[in-house]
A and B are shown apart, each in its own frame.
Chain A
Amino acid sequence: MPTLTFVLPDGTRRTLEGKAGLSVMEVAMAEDLPGIIAECGGNAMCATCHVYAGATDRLPPVSEVEDEMLDSTAAPRTPASRLSCQVQIADNWDGMTFDVPETQL
């Protein structure tokens, strides 16, 4: 099972089990991870599932739609910024980390 570690703004780490094919957002929501809102249900429409990825080079590329949405995140955009609903989990993930921003709204 791929594992994902979320680092909350206060430094707390939570490691969750993922499943290939699910999005990072879906795993976070299923566990009520604080700080991930995902108001639009995973359609890259609301930019409230923003995360900072630890290993951006291992993730699928940012689409044009995601790119535009990332310009509107509540917390500052960095090169590590992704919408977690657009990042599908892969089988070979182990110990991937995602920092949860201070705010999504």
Chain B
Amino acid sequence: MTVVVIGAGHGGVQVAASLRAEGHRGPVVLLDGQDHLPYHRPQLSKEFLGPGAGDPQLLRSASFFADQDIDLRLGTAVAALHPARRRVELRDGGAVDYTHLVLALGSSLRRLQVPGVELDGIAQLGSLTDAAALRARLDAARDVVVVGGGFLGLEIAAACADVGRAVTVVEPQARLLARAVAPPVSDAVRRAHEAAGTVLHVGTGVQRFLGRAGQVRRVVLSDGSEFPADLVVIAVGVVANSGIAEAAGLAVDDGVLVDPWLRTSVPDIFAVGDCVARPDRELGAPRRIECVQNAIDQARHVASSIAHGLGEPYGKVPWFWTHQFALRVQTVGLGFPDDDCVLVGDPDGDGFSVCRFRRGRLVAVESVNRPRDHMAARRLLSGGVLPVPAEVGSAGFDLKDHELATRGTA
């Protein structure tokens, strides 16, 4: 029984490792187009860009894959899937046949379509190669412009400001992290960047880049403002790498569609991580989750399904974190654009959390410098007694005290 896993990111490596941990004895083939041993990605947009950072941390040691009898094939891009023949066709002309296939295809950076985007000095960060190139360019840069005020863009902006560069962030939406977090969290992040001297342009996009001798020199915004740049980093979101799945006839809708067990529309093909789109009835659309924890937990679930047969549907509550300057932002759960938000703590003080409610039910908690709240919220959202909005809004309410007081009574 051969399991083929496509993609050796956090999810794909975890599928392979968990298959062995769960006792799967048949061949495990792990394919990836990149040449580097699988590495931790979150640090690439943070400390990796700073001074003195060494090689990226590997997900597993170099000897792990051989020790575990995992056939890791780096530099091996996939050309096509042939589900009817249970075969993966490789770009080098070879092929691998499978009993079970797991798609851990990841996501790719969205491109920005504006005049001048092809100029030298305009970079993106989606891989170790990109990050190493960006770090090298950063040495000689003075004016850095980051296009995109999401998590990735802001982490890069913070890393650049930390090494003394003049940083400008451009975000077309009305506020930073608009898609990801509630306004009080956006605001805390905005203040941290402003305190570091970063100039923020929100509610306006890039109209064009201007260059000289092929090198970017200036950025012109839609609102007419214009400023110098010798390094531009574009971080305007990602798209799921669902191309080979779609070409093979799998159901795709902004990601590979899966059922509650992470099975795709084709038998014996599972999908995990960034490339997955799960129907969300409440949202009225499929939802994609881009974070390490989601990839790893989905991978464990799929490995268990393959090794032991289907069990419970996948049901882990997603959590996510980012570091920027002295801010430690941690989120858990899945919010919706129009949630009711109740604050715990003081946004002008040491830390606070935003509790998001959907029709009176707690669905997500976003914390800024409040690990205590975050960890309590993780336990609560994973089967605890959920507090109602009036409780959370009452004076002296504390998520951890609530969790401890109600533990075991759900």
A4–B371 alpha-carbon span in the complex (Å): 29
Q: Mark A20-45, 1 if CB is under 8 A from B, else 0.
A: 00000010011110000001111101
Of A32, A43, A65, which is within 8 A of B67 by CB?
A32
Contact flag A65-B57 (CB < 8 Å), given A32-B67, A43-B323: no
Query: What residues on A are CB-neighbors of B296 within 8 Å?
Result: 39
Tell me, yes or no, whether B378 is within 8 Å of chain A by CB. Answer: yes
| Interchain CB contact under 8 A, B323 and A69 | no
Q: Is B64 an interface residue (CB 8 A)?
A: yes
| Contact assessment for A69 and B371 in the assembled complex, using a CB-CB cutoff below 8 Å | yes
**Does B126 lie at the interface of the complex (its beta carbon under 8 Å from any beta carbon of A)?**
no
On whether the beta carbons of A68 and B57 are closer than 8 Å, the reply is no
Which residues of A60-79 are within 8 A (CB) of B? 64-65, 68-69, 71-72
Q: Which residues of A contact B323 (CB under 8 A)?
A: 43
The verdict on A46 contacting chain B, using a C-beta distance below 8 Å, is yes
- Nearest CB in chain B: distance from A64 CB, A: 7
User: Given A32-B67, A69-B375, do A40 and B321 touch, yes or no (CB 8 Å)?
Assistant: yes
Interchain CB contact under 8 A, A29 and B293: no
Interface size on A, residues (CB 8 A): 18
Q: Which one of A26, A39, A42, A64 contacts B371 once the chains associate, using CB atoms below 8 Å?
A: A64
Q: Which residues of A contact B378 (CB under 8 A)?
A: 72
Please determine whether A41 and B43 come into contact, CB atoms closer than 8 angstroms. yes
Size of the chain B interface, CB-CB below 8 angstroms: 23
In the bound assembly, the distance between CA atoms of A46 and B374 in angstroms comes to 11
Q: A41-B40, A46-B293 are in contact. Are A32 and B321 (CB under 8 A)?
A: no
- Is A29 a contact of B61 with CB atoms below 8 Å? yes
Tell me the B352-410 residues at the A interface (CB within 8 Å). Answer: 371-372, 374-375, 378-379
> Chain A nearest CB: distance from B370 CB in Å?
9
Within 8 A of A (CB), among B283-325: 292-293, 296, 321, 323
Q: Which of A41, A65, A69, A71 contacts B42 (CB 8 A)?
A: A41
Q: Judge whether A39 and B292 touch: CB under 8 Å.
A: yes
Are B57 and A42 in touch, CB under 8 angstroms? yes
> Which residues of chain A have C-beta atoms less than 8 A from B86's C-beta?
none
**Residues of B close to A32: CB separation below 8 A:** 60-61, 63-64, 67
Given known pairs A43-B323, A45-B321, the reply for A68 and B372 (CB within 8 Å) is yes
Q: Please name the residue on chain A nearest to B64 by beta carbon.
A: A32
Residues of A within 8 A of B63 (CB): 32
Q: Is the CB of B328 closer than 8 A to any CB of chain A?
A: yes
In the bound complex, CA of A64 to CA of B371 (Å)? 9
One of B60, B61, B292, B371 near A65 (C-beta < 8 A):
B371
Q: Determine the chain B residues whose CB is within 8 A of the CB of A26 once the complex forms.
A: 57
Q: Are B379 and A72 in contact (CB under 8 A)?
A: yes
CB <8 Å contact, A45 and B330: yes
B371 touches A68 (CB 8 A): yes
Partner of B61, one of A31, A45, A69: A31
Instruction: Tell me the complex Cα distance, A36–B341, Å.
Output: 37
Contact with A along B258-296 (1 / 0, CB 8 A): 000000000000000000000000000000000011001
Q: Which residues of B, 36-50, contact A by the 8 Å Cβ criterion?
A: 40, 42-43
How many Å lie between the Cα of A39 and that of B79 in the bound state? 31
| Inter-chain contacts of A30 with B (CB < 8 A) | 61
Residues of A within 8 A of B60 (CB): 29, 32
Beyond A41-B43, A68-B374, 11 extra complex contacts between A and B, CB < 8 Å = A26-B57, A29-B60, A30-B61, A32-B61, A32-B63, A32-B67, A39-B293, A40-B42, A41-B57, A42-B57, A43-B321
**Ordered nearest first, which 3 A-B pairs have the shortest CB separation?**
A68-B371, A41-B40, A72-B375
